[in-house]
Amino acid sequence: MKKLSILGLFIFALISFNSCETEDDIVFTTQAPEGFVFTNSILDSYVLTSSTSSNLGERFTWTSADFGVPTNGSYELQSSILGDFTDAAIVNTATDNEIAMTIGQMMSVATEAGLDNDPDSPEPSTGSFSVRVRALAGDAGGADDVFSNVLIINVELLEGSGSGNSGIEPATWGVVGDGYNAWGDGGPDGQFYTTSEAGVLVAYVTLIDGEIKFRENNAWDSDLGAGEAEGSLEVGGANIPVTAGTYKITMNTNENTYTMVDYSWGVVGDGYNNWGETPDAKFYYDYTTDTFKVDVKLLDGEVKFRLNNSWDVEFGGDNIPVTAGHYSISINLNDNSYTLEESDVWGIVGDGYNAWGETPDFSLTQIQPDVYVGDIATFVDGEIKFRLNSAWDTDYGDNGADGTLDAGGENIAVTAGLYRVQMDVANGTYMLNKIQ
């Protein structure tokens, strides 16, 4: 992968990533009115990945600009690849002294600057860009506008952090509410993804009874709720009532409209649940491949794949014979293909879930490399652990109750409720997000 030494923004902007030449005659001359400066501290480097694109990258704060006379003022955060801001792009605007920049917005600037994410390279692509704040005098700004000091943002675009083979990216919008994540107290918002049509986003979420809204960047700076017309959205609109189920939500930000339909692919058969005596094994969406995946323990028998736990829509033709074991299954609805491969399956066991194995473990599904998810788990007061293939050969607990996985570690205490679970094997971390 191409790699850039961080010798200054002017080098990054004017040389290719393979060059060692520098331009020593470029001088930055930035002036700021006294007191109009950034007040936040910044990291030495920001790590950018698509899986965290909706997360906060940095929250920029600054002192108030003083124009010498009373005036209605506003601010805009600008980014620049060249460094002299002749190419200035507006990140966001505000009337107060704070603007957030997401990981996704940083990735957009980095991509425009020429960073790549070659999956064949063992090293990240590194570079930098500049930001400053413009204080607009009056409602529209003009010749009296002033600018803050400049900050240089160093970034690393990690291997495989782009859109992969699918061309689909996480969007900045998400689903929030007591119908999803306890209005943000129960973990990140439900992720929307881009589609082939600009401004049309899609999310696949499992909801509980309650209400939801759509908001940007896991924050309340920008949110959409129900408008007066059915299926319409308005800025700051009403909460949207929902009932428990798994849904496909499509949001059109061009027209401020949305649709919600029941949408849950699952595994059914005497090889799993005796043809529907219990709920089907739920598939989870993987945006990097635009496929649906499930990791599951199967029995000797046959299985099929069907939509919404019913036979109205099924996928798989003839029954698919399977032998007992642990499997990873994916279905591709673009070409009606599937894969079914023996694979390790992580699960949750404990008196907080299944009396230490009296019933099957709660299975987690790998949706990106080393990242496993599961929802919705119903826990009771007690303790749990993570283990592999419903056996004690490999298990993880948490010795410090700090969200870090420890091989053979202490049991993890849980209280009764509904949870969304994430396990990151590569980073040795986990999250138990209680939603009710």
Q: How far apart are CA 403 and CA 428, in angstroms?
A: 9
- 9 pLDDT higher than 70: no
Whole-angstrom CA distances from 269 to 169, 358, 363 are 34, 22, 17
Q: How confident is residue 298, by pLDDT bands cut at 50, 70 and 90? A: very high
159-174 mean pLDDT: 70
Q: Please write the tens of the pLDDT for every residue from 308-318.
A: 999 999 986 79
Name the token pair of 70: 């009373």
Radius of gyration of the chain (CA): 25
> In the prediction, which pLDDT does 218 show?
94
Taking residues 174-197, report their average pLDDT: 95
Query: Using one digit for the tens of pLDDT, what is the confidence trace for 308-366?
Result: 999 999 986 799 999 999 999 999 998 889 999 999 999 999 999 999 999 999 999 99
What's the pLDDT at 6?
A: 34
Average pLDDT over every residue of 31-55: 72
Structure tokens that stand for 422 in this block: 């994430």
pLDDT (tens digit per residue) in 415-428: 999 999 999 988 89
Least trusted range by pLDDT, from 68-72, 164-168, 354-358, 418-422: 68-72
User: Per-residue pLDDT averaged across 219-231, rounded?
Assistant: 94
Topology agreement, domain 172-262 and domain 346-434: yes
Report the pLDDT averaged over residues 249-268. Answer: 96
- The chain-wide mean pLDDT, for the chain, equals 85
**For residue 398, is pLDDT > 90?**
yes
Q: Domain 172-262 adopts which CATH fold?
A: Immunoglobulin-like (2.60.40)
CA distance 332 to 349: 31
> Phi and psi of 191, rounded to 5°?
-80, 130
Mean pLDDT of 267-276: 96
- What letter represents residue 161's amino acid? S
Instruction: Say how many C-beta atoms besides its own lie within 10 A of residue 279's C-beta.
Output: 11
Using a pLDDT cut of 90, give the percent of the chain over it.
61
Domain positions in the chain are: 9-157, 172-262, 265-342, 346-434
Residue 225 pLDDT > 80: yes
Write out the H or E segment, with its range, that includes residue 406.
strand 406-407
**pLDDT for residue 29:** 36
Q: What does the DSSP assignment read for 141-165?
A: --TT-EE---EEEEEEE-TT-S-TT
Query: What pLDDT shows up at residue 363?
Result: 97
pLDDT level of residue 77 (50, 70, 90 thresholds): very high
Mean pLDDT of 246-264: 95
By C-alpha distance, which of 166, 254, 244, 253 is closest to 205? 244
Predicted local distance difference test score (pLDDT) of residue 305:
96
Q: Classify domain 346-434 at the CATH topology level.
A: Immunoglobulin-like (2.60.40)
CATH number for the domain running over 9-157: 2.60.40.3640
Residue 246: its pLDDT value, please?
Answer: 97
DSSP character at residue 64: P
pLDDT of 34 reads: 52
Rounded Cα gap, residues 8 and 285, in angstroms: 40
More confident residue, 119 or 87: 87
- Spatial neighbors of 408 by CB under 8 A, at least 6 apart, are 395, 396, 397
Q: Report pTM.
A: 0.64
Residue 83 clears pLDDT 50, i.e. is over it: yes
* Confidence (pLDDT) at 170: 92
pLDDT (average), residues 86-105: 85
Pick the CATH number of 265-342 from 3.40.605.10, 3.40.50.300, 3.40.50.720, 2.60.40.10: 2.60.40.10
DSSP 159-199: TT-S-TTTT--EEEEEEESTTTTGGGTTSSPEEEEE-SSTT
Banded model confidence at residue 123, pLDDT cuts 50, 70, 90: low
